[in-house]
Amino acid sequence: MERVPARRRRRNHNFDLNPKRRKEIVQHALYVGAAETEDFSRWLIAWHWYNPKAKDPIWSLMEAAKRMGGRITEGEASSITEEASIIRKCWSADNLARFLGLTYAQRQALGIKTIGSIDVRKRARKVLRQRKDRLYRESKRRAAGMRPQSESLSVTQPWRELGMSRRTWYRQNKPRTSNGTTLSAVIFLSSEDRPVPPAAGLSERGFASKKELPAERARRSRNIGASGLTSSQTATTLAADIHGSLPLELRPVALGLPLPQNLARAA
């Protein structure tokens, strides 16, 4: 069977890394006060590496020095651009971090994303990001009222301490409303649904209530005649009165019943 390779994640080829890195180089230079040191040219060289589309690189480098808190002349900018073209470029995040001396603490303080660090490698930074994300999600779950797995009901099992079954414990501790149950589930509620108190429809155990409704009581009273019997009882009484005047041997025939054998032979 031919093995199907996993689908590779598509990259956004329209994303330009250069503006982001130039901004982070300026941030780091301001944070460490690079303009006041003798190695100020290192940040300018790194900034020039990631400015390949500049129409006037000399003027752009002079303006970048101003944003870093320093000032250079046009001749100094020209010599820095020449030095940047000779030095091997640092394209990877960790190599650029070693060139600038960026530490992980500085990276976190400035919120730098595209430059690595000299004391924490790429794989370690990934583990730290995953741990930070896990702690953030855990804090969100705690804020929403969720308990950790070690404190879940499936682990603690409080019904065993009370000597009852799990189903009984859940039924007793389940939150109930004061108005009774509802006609529909929560996700299917409609404007026609109303709370149903236990006394109005079903009894507490789920059986129908023995109390008659007013409409049923009125209908039942209409079916009762003057003799105090219901309609079905009255019909039975009238049929018995009519057949009572017939002879005994003809009453089964009037009622549609088969004749006895002695009467059938006599007939």
pLDDT tens by residue, the chain, 267 residues: 566 665 666 666 677 889 999 999 999 999 999 999 999 999 999 999 999 988 999 999 999 999 999 999 999 999 999 999 999 898 899 999 999 999 999 999 999 999 999 999 999 999 999 999 999 988 888 888 777 777 777 778 888 888 888 888 888 887 643 443 443 444 444 444 454 444 444 444 444 444 555 656 666 656 555 455 555 555 455 455 555 666 666 666 666 666 666 555 555
* Overall pTM surpassing 0.75 (yes/no): no
Please tell me the predicted confidence (pLDDT) of residue 79.
Answer: 94
CB 37 within 8 A of CB 43: no
The Cα angle at residue 81 between residues 99 and 107, in degrees rounded to 5: 30
Q: Where are the domains of the chain?
A: 17-117, 148-174
Question: Of 87, 115, 83, which Cα lies nearest the Cα of 101?
Answer: 115
Distance CA 90, CA 115 (A): 11
115 is written with which tokens? 């430059």
Distance CA 2, CA 79 (A): 59
Q: What are phi and psi of 208, to 5 degrees?
A: -70, 145
CB 40 within 8 A of CB 62: no
DSSP bridge partners of 181: 196
Please tell me the predicted confidence (pLDDT) of residue 99.
Answer: 94
Distance CA 236, CA 261 (A): 27
Distance CA 224, CA 232 (A): 9
Long-range contacts at 56-60 (CB < 8 A, ≥ 24 apart): 57/81
Please tell me the predicted confidence (pLDDT) of residue 263.
Answer: 55
Please tell me the predicted confidence (pLDDT) of residue 12.
Answer: 60
